[in-house]
């Protein structure tokens, strides 16, 4: 799978809301400076974000590992996920980092 095919598959699954979050993605350590993302922020990152790493074959699941980044206004979101083709997107982690100052 190449990045172009992964983008199309991610957008299709995210628009259908076929997204599953791990416990780690739901509960981020705020004291480490990484704020957890809402489901809507994760969904928007999957649809409109840029692939910054991958796709790489995942050894645990029958899927592809990816990392996406979306910078919008004062926010920077990063999402790591596993794309399980034609089934769902498993979100490993998602967080907001380095809020830009105005």
Strands 35-36 and 75-84: unpaired
pTM above 0.75, yes or no: yes
Gap between the Cα atoms of 96 and 80, Å rounded: 12
* Pair of tokens at residue 55: 């796709």
Q: What is the reported pLDDT for 23?
A: 80
Average pLDDT rounded to a whole number, residues 90-97: 78
Model confidence at 19: pLDDT above 80: yes
**Mind listing the pLDDT tens digit for each residue in 77-89?**
888 889 988 788 8
Gap between the Cα atoms of 86 and 81, Å rounded: 15
Please give the DSSP secondary-structure letter assigned to residue 30.
G
Please, which pLDDT band fits residue 68 given cuts at 50, 70 and 90?
Answer: very high
Name all domains of the chain by residue range, CATH numbers in brackets: 3-96 (3.30.2310)
Model confidence at 99: pLDDT above 60: no
């Amino acid at each position: 799978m190449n990045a172009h095919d992964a983008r199309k598959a991610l957008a299709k699954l995210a628009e259908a809301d076929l997204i599953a979050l791990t416990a780690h993605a739901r509960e981020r350590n705020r004291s480490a400076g990484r704020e957890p993302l809402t489901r809507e922020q994760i969904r928007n990152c999957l649809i409109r974000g840029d692939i910054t790493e991958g796709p790489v074959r995942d050894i645990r699941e029958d899927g592809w590992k990816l990392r996406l980044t979306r910078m919008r206004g004062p926010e920077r979101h990063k999402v790591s996920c596993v794309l399980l083709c034609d089934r769902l997107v498993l979100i490993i982690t998602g967080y907001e980092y380095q809020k830009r100052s105005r």
